[in-house]
Amino acid sequence: MAEDIEQFLKYGGVKFEYKAPEREVYKFVNSLPEEKRSSIAEVSKILEEEGYIDLKPEFSTIDQELLDAQVEENRRI
């Protein structure tokens, strides 16, 4: 999908591959409640769980031990 161009999450540095057309992914994300869309970590987790993207965690700037705390902190902001 998406011309097989390597993609990165803008604020997490995690590589990912689209498993659905980008337009479909954007439509799904826009349908999420605002509180779910406020955290890129949470959105990426939901997209992977729903089969829209495949995360490639071999490269990440996110501290996996603190991921839950980061998601929770982003919800409060």
- Residue 58: its pLDDT value, please? 67
Q: How far apart are CA 35 and CA 22, in angstroms?
A: 22
The two beta strands, 53-56 and 15-18, are: antiparallel
Q: What are the residue ranges spanned by the domains of the chain?
A: 2-76
Q: What is the pLDDT along the chain (77 residues), one digit of tens a residue?
A: 556 666 666 556 677 889 999 999 999 999 999 988 888 888 988 999 999 998 876 655 556 666 666 666 566 65
- 40-49 vs 22-31: helix crossing angle, rounded to 10: 120
**What is the value of pTM for the model shown?**
0.62
